Structure 1
Amino acid sequence: MRHLRQPVMQPTTSLTRRAMLKRAGLGAAAALAATVPGCVPASGHGQTELVWGRRGQSSGRFLKPRAITIDRNDQLYIVDTTGRIQVFDRDGNWLRQWKTPETKNGRPTGLAIQHGRRPEDDLLLVADTHYYRMLVYHLDGRRIESKEIGGQPGRDPGQFAFVTDAVSDDDGCFYIGEYGDSDRIQKFDPDGNFMTQWGGTGRETEKFVRPQSLVIAGDVLWIADACNHRIQRYDISGPTPRWIDAWGQQGQQPGQFHYPYDLALLADGGVLVCEYGNQRIQRLAADGTPQSIWGAPGFEVGQLYQPWGLVVDSENRMHVLDSNNHRIQRTRLPA
């Protein structure tokens, strides 16, 4: 595991994309020249502090990890293409693992924590993509089949195409995204009964092409509309979701996206967007104004190879799922 002195989050107003790529590469090369075995944290604000994980199937290793979430104790839950859900502390120390029940057809691509009234009531929601369902687990890995939703392919309410993500609101209602035959969001009550749906395949506003990631903050549902290269937001305070706005278009410039696969909301109302296609993380203000960019395509420290996800811990550090590099990179966010 390695530490890095550069790159850091750089303002998009002062660096071009080409300069960012060059700077990332130079910083990574300098860091690698000083690499020693072990997890060595770097000093300083905004730096990549820690890189951990490597390719493999033993505990603590990954094969193309596909989703990440974090609980209230800063424990990280990561699923890879073996179907394993591995749990780590925020410093990358392996804690426990289990495996989803079936993997022959494919593996999950979405994870989220459902917060209960007490910490011991918290649950892990798993988008079991290729088995058309949402799985539910206690955080120690015990499966709760009675709370699962779906399992049958189809377009009717309660049936699914390929499930992308599953989240819950403060009332315990579930929102499940899917792509394929039905690029839509379905809402269910806390008992798993169908309530409503919206979306459908399309390029126009309020339609989706692979709603890959869902995040709820208060009464607002954020959706990473991945193959439309944008973020859409909905007010979910009433019985019928109400469209608020959409951000972004396809491109490489600040404020543009190329396959946004995941989101993480910040305390100031802003958002981090993980771009699978551009292989970078963008930070945007609460009004959608681009603020900074971190990362560049590559294999070195501070570079990314088709990242799928990210989370932010209680110490304001970003953990990036650097999927095709089979690792996690941790970076402290500037204030």
Structure 2
Amino acid sequence: PSDTFVTSDGIYVLDTKNYRVQKWLKNGINATIVAGITGTPGGTSSNTTFSTSYGLFIDQFGSIYVSDQGNCRILRFPPNSVSGTIGDWIAGTGVSGYGWQGFASPTGIFVDSNQAVYVADTSNHRIQKYNFGACYGMTVAGTGYAGNSLNQLQNPTSVVVDSDGCLYISDQNNHRILRWAPEACAGECIAGCSMTPGTRPDQLNHPSDIAFDSQGSLYVSDTWNNRVQKFAILNGTGAYKILESST
């Protein structure tokens, strides 16, 4: 399994090498398959199955989004779908590419309240946004070229968008987390700002995923350090800094 998503009625698991999404009820019993077909990798000729996938999101309506990395596309499955349900191909061309429609190793995905889809386009070193129903994406973070300046990303793997439209990005190969304001030309670093991999509380090593709790604390999957880091954040009148971190 490579990703999970928690809702009020259960836990969704992206079971990558079984090419399926499972839903587990709160009691942990009787998982059901809600997307994909067990043991059946799919190509672009089918919207029922998907290839190697690493991103999962459930929107406010219960629709299931899968980042089909092996096929360089995003699929959306309807609420209450089951194994074999046909999904909608909503983004990507099916082959690796760079243009407004293309992805190269899409990984993390996020869907906002307007059903706009944000994609960590990992090997293109950028975050793409697809408004609902759009055929083309727009780059909202990164330049498309790997780098470590504040306007650049290097293999981003996860993106979260807050209610103000700010993006939080796991900039994996720069070992940092960036906050990117709406329409900004560059981000600001909020964790791992030395960009030096390490085991200190203020360091990260290839962070792969991020999430927030209801108190605004940031959780980071610090992959190569084999730990999860929690950062308490102060977000006040223009101030935005890490107060503390803990494992």
1:91-106 aligned at under 5 Å gives the runs none
Q: In the alignment, what sits opposite 2:244?
A: none
1:243 partnered with 2:133: no
1:204 partnered with 2:89: no
Cα offset, 1:185, TM superposition: 1.0
Secondary structure at the aligned position of 1:209 is classed as coil
Q: In the alignment, what sits opposite 2:242?
A: none
> Matches of 1:212 and 1:139 in 2, distance apart?
27
Q: 1:291 to 1:166 in 2, by over 3 A?
A: closer
1:255–1:288 CA contact under 8 A, matched in 2: no
Structure 1 residues 219-228 or 163-172, which shifts more? 163-172
Q: In the alignment, what sits opposite 2:66?
A: 176
> Matches of 2:72 and 2:178 in 1, distance apart?
25
Cα offset, 1:143, TM superposition: 4.0
Secondary structure at the aligned position of 2:17 is classed as helix
Residues 268-321 of structure 1, C-alpha deviations (whole Å, 9 max, x = no match) = 210110111111001110224434212032121211111111111111111111
- Which of 143, 154, 165 does residue 269 from structure 1 map onto? 165
TM-score (norm: length of structure 1)? 0.61
Q: In the alignment, what sits opposite 2:53?
A: 163
1:1-335 aligned at under 5 Å gives the runs 108-113=1-6, 115=7, 119=8, 121=9, 123-151=10-38, 152-155=40-43, 156-180=46-70, 182-192=71-81, 193-197=85-89, 198-199=91-92, 200=94, 201-218=96-113, 219-236=115-132, 240-246=133-139, 247-248=141-142, 249=144, 250-293=146-189, 294-295=191-192, 296=195, 297-335=197-235
> Where do 4+ consecutive residues of structure 1 move more than 6 Å?
none
Q: 1:174 to 1:253 in 2, by over 3 A?
A: same
Residues 191-248 of structure 1, C-alpha deviations (whole Å, 9 max, x = no match) = 3232421312212222111111111111211111111111011122xxx444351131
2:19–2:49 CA contact under 8 A, matched in 1: yes
2:68–2:106 CA contact under 8 A, matched in 1: yes
Unaligned runs of 5+ in 2: 236-247
Q: 1:159 to 1:206 in 2, by over 3 A?
A: same
Secondary structure at the aligned position of 2:229 is classed as strand
1:186–1:194 CA contact under 8 A, matched in 2: no
> Matches of 2:103 and 2:118 in 1, distance apart?
13
The code of the aligned residue for 1:144 comes to: A
The code of the aligned residue for 2:172 comes to: Y
Cα offset, 1:334, TM superposition: 3.2
> Matches of 1:253 and 1:328 in 2, distance apart?
25
Residues 95-128 of structure 1, C-alpha deviations (whole Å, 9 max, x = no match) = xxxxxxxxxxxxx222222x3xxx3x2x222111
TM-score (norm: length of structure 2)? 0.81
Q: 1:323 to 1:195 in 2, by over 3 A?
A: closer
Cα offset, 1:160, TM superposition: 1.3
Greater strand proportion: 2
The code of the aligned residue for 2:207 comes to: P
Q: 1:124 to 1:166 in 2, by over 3 A?
A: same
> Matches of 1:112 and 1:255 in 2, distance apart?
29
Cα offset, 1:169, TM superposition: 2.1
Q: 1:160 to 1:268 in 2, by over 3 A?
A: same
2:116–2:129 CA contact under 8 A, matched in 1: yes
